[in-house]
Amino acid sequence: MSALILTSVLGVVLLYLGLSGNKSILAPTAIVGLVAAGVMSWTGWNPGLMEFPTMLKFDQMSTLFNCAMIAVTVLLFLFGIDYYRRMEENVAEHYALMVFSLTGALILTSYTNLLMLFLGIEILSIPLYILAGGKKRSYRSSEASFKYFLLGSFATAFFLMGIALIYGVTASFDLAVIGQKVQAAPNNVLFLLGAFFVSIALSFKVGAVPFHFWSPDVYEGAPTLVTAFMATVVKTAAFAGFYRFLQMTAMPPALSDTLLVITILTLFLGNVVAMRQSQFKRLMAYSSIAHTGFLLMAVLANSAMSWSTLFYYTFTYALATVGLFIVLTLAKRAANGNEAIVIFRGLFRANPWLALVTMLLLLSLAGIPLTAGFVAKYQVFMLAIGAGFIKTAVFAVFMALVGIYYYVLVIREAFTPAEETPVLVVSPINWLVVSACGVAVVAFALWPVLVG
């Protein structure tokens, strides 16, 4: 609770600091604030004992997810020091909106009431609609913002229709009460319909096929830092929210079948279309859709252990993604704003360490053994097999193999000498963040081995 309050206040503080006109204090303040929020969240520090048990519940799951999301945001803000250096205006607003969005994410991991789920989703999304249009002079950025806003509002309409139907059947927004009523009458059609609608809206937020159309355009159009934020924190929060919602519904067969179809479509389309991309951000968008497919399998298994797998998967995925987007920004600067995959050519010559870390991060996304991505995918497959989705798991393994192809394409570019070796300017903080991501991806893979 205190972490939630702190992040809300931090956003306002950042806005006021923006008035002072001194850009250089923004990122440090935001980072200090977020670290404090992370500590509060980790220790469960709650001095006034403010608790709203019917609205928010901070259990082990939400604590871990919250700390992970705060940590990823801190990494992104460290990157922001360099990223926003050349931007003159609205820097404070960018930081503040991202902090507000994080507040929504914190709510999504811990809600126990459908109203809080709604508010969480909206607080998460509305700052993003704005941030996606952050490059005001860029046509693509405005397009991304508008597209995201319109489709997001459409998803919200579905969501509200869903909770209206659920309320109509159960006369409650409280997850515990709804859960009891549903167990008493599991096949109430109106409840199923409501659960469907809410699932549609949440599938939109996580970017599952066939609700994925926004994501390549928005990922490409939005400023890189915002794209990284969307691919990591937002996806993590949306999955935590999705998982909590489905736990409550106790997964009736009709819903489970629908989600199974969505999962298979997502796995297939994400991986296959990603092979044909030449722009790095679009590649990452489709790769993120593919990862949504794997994550949906964990959600689908719907066991009590799903959340720890979801946590491990989203966190390691987020670390790899943050690192890659930083490398992209560095390479993009050297290539005058070009975002094609070819700009990675000659990376090994220009900066061997960066190329090696990039390789590690990409291998982790692909799920090669000895990286965290492998452990995460392995856990998901075991979970799916344990829940009886054996055919889906086999299909997913096959799709994971397809996925290796397009990640290796990027690695190949990085290790191919270019005619003109690009000149990369790497600030020490960026170097540190990228290296930390690379080291973490390996450390987290060895962690299960080392610990147990």
Partner 1 sequence: MQYLFYLFAAISVLSGLFVVTARNPVNSVIALIVCFLSIAGHYILLNAQFLAMVQVIVYTGAIMVLFLFVIMLLNLNNSTEPQKTLLTRIAAVVAGGVFLLTLLAATRQGVEIAAANPADASVGLVSHVGMALFKDFLLPFEVSSVLFLSAMVGALMLGKKEKVAA
Q: Is 97 in the site for partner 1 (CB under 8 A)?
A: yes
Return the bridge partners of 340, or none.
Answer: 279
Smallest gap from Cβ 338 to partner 1, in A, equals: 21
DSSP sequence for 40-102 = HHHHT--TT----TTTB---HHHHHHHHHHHHHHHHHHHHHHHHTTT--SSHHHHHHHHHHHH
Q: Which of 190, 179, 202, 194 is nearest to 112 (CA)?
A: 179
- Residue in the structure block whose two tokens are 């973490």: 440
Q: Is 157 in the site for partner 1 (CB under 8 A)?
A: no
Tokens for 24, please give them. 């250089």
Smallest gap from Cβ 7 to partner 1, in A, equals: 9
- The answer to whether 57 and 112 are in contact (CB under 8 A) is yes
Q: Is 100 in the site for partner 1 (CB under 8 A)?
A: yes
Q: Is 170 in the site for partner 1 (CB under 8 A)?
A: yes
- Other CB atoms closer than 10 Å to residue 51's CB: what's the count? 12
Smallest gap from Cβ 291 to partner 1, in A, equals: 27
Residues 9 to 38 in contact with partner 1, rule: CB under 8 A: 11-12, 15
- The answer to whether 97 and 131 are in contact (CB under 8 A) is yes
Q: Is 56 in the site for partner 1 (CB under 8 A)?
A: yes
Nearer to partner 1, 97 or 299 (CB): 97
Q: Is 390 in the site for partner 1 (CB under 8 A)?
A: no
Query: What is the number of H-type helices and E-type strands within the chain?
Result: 19, 0
Taking the C-alpha atoms of residue 234 and residue 102, their distance in angstroms, rounded to an integer, is: 8
Q: Is 168 in the site for partner 1 (CB under 8 A)?
A: yes
Taking the C-alpha atoms of residue 60 and residue 44, their distance in angstroms, rounded to an integer, is: 10
Candidates 33, 38, 80, 127: give the one binding partner 1 (CB under 8 A): 127
Tokens for 173, please give them. 């927004």
Nearer to partner 1, 77 or 406 (CB): 77
Nearer to partner 1, 145 or 227 (CB): 145
- Other CB atoms closer than 10 Å to residue 388's CB: what's the count? 10
Taking the C-alpha atoms of residue 384 and residue 394, their distance in angstroms, rounded to an integer, is: 10
Q: Is 90 in the site for partner 1 (CB under 8 A)?
A: yes
Q: Is 93 in the site for partner 1 (CB under 8 A)?
A: yes
Classify 340 as helix, strand or coil: strand
Candidates 25, 150, 157, 189: give the one binding partner 1 (CB under 8 A): 189
Smallest gap from Cβ 103 to partner 1, in A, equals: 6
Residue 188 half-sphere exposure toward CB, CA atoms < 13 A: 20
Q: Is 85 in the site for partner 1 (CB under 8 A)?
A: no
Q: Is 253 in the site for partner 1 (CB under 8 A)?
A: no
Q: Is 129 in the site for partner 1 (CB under 8 A)?
A: yes
Candidates 33, 38, 104, 323: give the one binding partner 1 (CB under 8 A): 104
Q: Is 169 in the site for partner 1 (CB under 8 A)?
A: yes
Nearer to partner 1, 129 or 219 (CB): 129
Q: Is 119 in the site for partner 1 (CB under 8 A)?
A: yes
- Residue in the structure block whose two tokens are 């965290």: 372
Positions in the binding site for partner 1 (CB under 8 A): 8, 11-12, 15, 52, 54-56, 88-90, 93, 96-97, 100-101, 103-104, 107, 113, 115-116, 119, 122-123, 126-127, 129-130, 133, 136-137, 145, 168-171, 181, 185, 188-190, 192-193
